[in-house]
Structure 1
Amino acid sequence: MLSPEMLLGQRYRLRERIAVGGMGEVWRAEDTVLERTVAVKAMLPSLLSEPGFTQRFTAEAKTVAALTHPHIVNVHDFGNADLPSGETTAYLVMEFVEGKSLADLIAERGRIDARELMPIIAATAEALHHAHVHGVIHRDIKPGNILVRDRDGRAVLTDFGIARSGASGDLTQTGAVMGTASYIAPEQAEGTGVLPASDMYSLGVVAFHGL
Structure 2
Amino acid sequence: MTPPQARRRAVQTNFLAFLAALFLLAGCSTPPPGNSFAEQTWDHQPDIRLLVGEIRVDKQYIDQAPYPHAELQAPRTPSQALENWARRRLVAAGSGGRAVLTITDGRIVQSDLPEDKGTLSFFSSQRAHKFDGRLAARLSIENASGVRVGQVEAVATRYVSIGSGVTLNEREELLFQLVEEMVASLDQEMEKQVRLHLGPYTVP
Would the TM-score normalized by the shorter structure come out above 0.5?
A: no
Instruction: State the structure with bigger RCO (CA 8 A, min sep 6), 1 or 2.
Output: 2
TM range (shorter): under 0.3
Q: Which has the larger radius of gyration?
A: 2
